[in-house]
């Protein structure tokens, strides 16, 4: 995909990202295991 075609795709909502938010640092070990096992794709932030 060329750069000139990416901008319109983002604006039209055809490009999406996935994110799994894990709440509490106590759940971080399980979140890490999920990333390594392929259960989560995209970003997995663990906010404090």
SS (H, E, C) the chain: CCHHHHHHHHHCCCCCCCECCCCCHHHHHHHHHHHHHCCCCCECCCCC
Q: What is the pLDDT of residue 2?
A: 65
Q: What is the pLDDT of residue 9?
A: 86
> Do 20 and 42 form a contact (C-beta atoms < 8 A)?
yes
Mean pLDDT by 10 residues, the chain (48 residues): 76 83 88 87 76
Residue 19: closest CA among 33, 35, 1: 35
- Kindly list the distances between the CA atom of residue 5 and the CA atoms of 2, 16, 42, in Å, as whole numbers in the listed order: 5, 15, 22
pTM: 0.54
């Amino acid at each position: 995909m060329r750069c000139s075609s990416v901008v319109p795709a983002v604006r039209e909502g055809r490009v999406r990202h996935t994110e799994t938010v894990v709440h509490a640092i106590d759940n971080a070990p399980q979140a890490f295991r999920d990333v390594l096992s392929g259960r989560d794709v995209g970003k997995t932030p663990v906010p404090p």
